[in-house]
Structure 1
Amino acid sequence: MLGAAEAPLHFGINAKGLINVFAKDVGRLQTWERRIWAAHSVAVDGPVSAELFQVQMMVDPADTIAPEHALPAVIRSLDDTFREAFGPPLLRPHASVETLLTRSHRFRAAEPDGLLALAKDLTRMFIERVDVTAVRNAAVSRGQVLGDVKALKALEGLAAGRVGEPQARALMGPLFGLYDLRLADAHLGSDVSSALERLSIEAATPATVQGRVMLESVVGAIDALTKALTAPPDVNTQGETALS
């Protein structure tokens, strides 16, 4: 829900990346709020949001979960799972996490260079907090040697010990794409096509859709990593030495 003051509105996002609200809901607002909505209104472009129509007209709540809502839950689940399996936490605490979470939403992508800024905040919130020493020690406890690698390669190697290198590489792909976009934010003119592909983002889609897909890809990757770390050992991976 969103709103200018005390009267929040149900809204949806259509295929063009535009916010949809029903006029009857706007009509219930105070006069000054209606003026704000009218000032930001644009001509109809694209179909009405399917989920908004389903809720408001069909009285059938959508069973989808916004990736913005799922993000803190999957990060917490991964950290808890790692702690239960290996002892120490996976993620280092940081005072800015809550602020970064509030900034991690699809509408950031609508700002100038917003997709890169969103990638930067997601990287700071997750990848840069990974305790690589804890991951290396976890690998040793499972008979693996990771070598001198950074956070994402270390996590990939640890996951590979359970699900094999091809599956570990595939599930980590979106997180590597996210990190590549974060680097592009610091280097003007960088080619981001490979990073977008890893995140399943189509460059021709509306900015807010790209933001949503990025969040969905990151949430899916973290969830898949959590499951991989607790998967039963694959006999075909035993004896492998991961990443140096």
Structure 2
Amino acid sequence: MKLRAWLQYSDREKPPYNPTKGTTITIEGFWQNESSEFDSLDWRREEWLIHSALVPAEQLNMAACEIASPHDLTFEMGWNSKDRFSFGDYSQYGEIQLYALAQLVKHPISQDFSIELSREFVTYHALQKRNPSQYYHPIDNILVAETNLDSHKTYDPTARVIIHRDYLRDFLAALGMGLLISVIAERFANVAIEEALKFAQIEDEKIDEFTWISTNIHTPEFTRHDYFRGRSTIRRNFIIEPYDRPKFERSPWYYFGEKLVQESELPSFIVNDEGKRQPLPKDTYLGNYINSGIGNFGYLYFRPEVLQKYLHIPGYSVFFHMRNWGVASLPGDRGTIDVGINSQGLVNAFAPDIADLSLAEQAYWASFSSLPSGEICEEMFQTRMQQNPPHSPGVVDLIRDARSQLNAHFKHQVSIDLFSDTEPSKQELRRLSVGPVSNQFIEVLELAKLLYEWVIETMQIEPLRNTLSALGGAVDKNLRQIKLLEKILMAKGLNETQTRSIAAPLVSLNKLRIGSAHIGSPELEPVFQLMGASTMPETPRAGWSLCVETVVNCLCSIADTLQT
């Protein structure tokens, strides 16, 4: 860029000089750029300072016209001359009220600097601080704000704060405020002759909306060298206006108001065997769904992958309290959905529950809408429609009960708990409860790894060795859990064939776990045959069901053997 254009800030609309350009907005910042030495003819230097403040929406334009510098948007902490303590979150410029969105705090004793993002902003979006500088939205999983301390050679550290534009304007709408961003910059350049600067000296000339520039020239008498020095200063104010309304639909907080959505905007769902599509009526009785032919007793069909979001995205969850039936929950108490998986592997979901969701969430479910195939999930239908819940304990309860039963016998034998207190995480328990939701057997391998960690790796070696020793068996310190269990069974009088038959599901579980750690597709049919299957399970859910049942039966059989 030519010198005159540089001194006239021809690049002022480009980032980072315009802090409002792009997806993120810089609301606090300071930086310097310098080339060559101060007393050199080719010396160039620039400094940029950015401060901001929240301003009532009705005062926003007035503030942009009257506030002359970022220095007017500083917030001081401590005692003032009127013996009042200021927390550094409020200030005034004449009649204009100013509130801090971010504060640079200097500790009065340690002199350490820190940056505090507005508590209201963090609370409104329920932001998660995942590291010392970054704040993420808990549902969207998007970086919303970033705060950093920048160090300088001759200045104290300064704050650099950027905020995502969309979340900022949403917050402003909820607050009824706008954001004023004030920028001041200075550029200096040494030249041999005054004409090389190619500008006249001006004072606060308005060159654009909320934009003023001043220029002056220092002569050799001032610079004390044989050159002239040009200096230009730009002052700019930017206003960030709030949205017309807050984005209630994505708020992590429960919203009690009416979410106005035109019927034409609502997504459509497959509602019958012929593939008819229509939006779901809201705030109506189940009988109206049935009479209108929407679903089967109000239940719709979906591809099972619809549950992936609820299994893996933070804030969403799905847990099956019965073998194939449970509840899917949205973040921030934004709704629950009765869901189950039928014998054909399709998800059944209660249509009135989906109708209560936001437009975006309905659209997500609609994208997985499926033609009906098979019955409604039996456990769900028997319980909800027939008031006759079947006995069908969920996977988590089955495993917990089997572990508890086996643990009790070991504790009776050697007065030590067999299992440690370690449990899978909540997300892992949810995955175990639901089982595979795709047609890929890799899911069975991944779930088997979790099950192995819960059932086998939590077995403590000491009680296994003590039990084997108490039964008169020889203890080999190189043996791990499964082999020690086999030795215990044989010490109880079982022959090798009987022992291998009982322990086979645990051996198979270990093979599946090993398969999950290797590239490619392992040969699974022999593993399932070891579990007792005559042929390869047709679907991943059938394979997972076999795995769970045989492991539970194995643990119970070992417990029964110890009891005899």
Superposition TM-score tier, normalisation by shorter sequence: 0.7 to 0.9
1:30 paired with 2:341, answer: no
Q: 1:3 to 1:151 in 2, by over 3 A?
A: closer
Specify the alignment match of 2:34 in structure 1.
none
Q: 1:209 aligned to 542, 552, 564, which one? A: 542
Q: 1:56 aligned to 360, 384, 398, which one? A: 384
Specify the alignment match of 2:328 in structure 1.
3
Shift of 1:20: 1.5
Q: Residues of 2 paired with 1:194 and 1:85: CA distance?
A: 35
Q: Residues of 2 paired with 1:102 and 1:216: CA distance?
A: 18
Specify the alignment match of 2:523 in structure 1.
191
Q: 1:140 aligned to 455, 469, 488, which one? A: 469
Q: Residues of 1 paired with 2:516 and 2:458: CA distance?
A: 19
Specify the alignment match of 2:394 in structure 1.
66
Quote the RMSD (CA, aligned, Å).
Answer: 2.7
Q: 1:109 to 1:176 in 2, by over 3 A?
A: farther
AA aligned to 1:176 is V
1:224 paired with 2:553, answer: no
Q: Verify the 8 A CA contact 1:109 1:118 in the aligned structure 2.
A: no
1:124 paired with 2:456, answer: no
Shift of 1:216: 2.3
Specify the alignment match of 1:19 in structure 2.
347
Residue deviations 1:30-85, cap 9 Å, x none?
35344333222222222322222222332211112122322123223322331222
Q: Residues of 2 paired with 1:73 and 1:184: CA distance?
A: 27
SS in 2 for 1:97: coil
Specify the alignment match of 1:84 in structure 2.
412
Structure 1 residues without counterparts, runs of 5 or longer: 233-244
Specify the alignment match of 2:500 in structure 1.
169
Specify the alignment match of 1:239 in structure 2.
none
Q: Residues of 1 paired with 2:468 and 2:494: CA distance?
A: 14
TM-score by length of 1: 0.79
Specify the alignment match of 2:435 in structure 1.
107
Q: Verify the 8 A CA contact 1:106 1:209 in the aligned structure 2.
A: no
Shift of 1:109: 6.0
Specify the alignment match of 1:155 in structure 2.
485
Q: Residues of 1 paired with 2:461 and 2:329: CA distance?
A: 43
Shift of 1:158: 0.9
Specify the alignment match of 2:41 in structure 1.
none
| Structure with more of its chain in strand, by fraction | 2
Residue deviations 1:115-148, cap 9 Å, x none?
1111111112221232334312211211222544
Q: 1:126 to 1:146 in 2, by over 3 A?
A: same
Q: Residues of 2 paired with 1:200 and 1:14: CA distance?
A: 24
1:178 paired with 2:509, answer: yes
AA aligned to 2:514 is L
AA aligned to 1:167 is Q
Higher RCO, 1 vs 2 (CA within 8 Å, ≥6 residues apart):
1
Specify the alignment match of 2:104 in structure 1.
none
Q: Residues of 1 paired with 2:405 and 2:545: CA distance?
A: 21
AA aligned to 2:510 is Y
SS in 2 for 1:17: coil
AA aligned to 1:127 is I
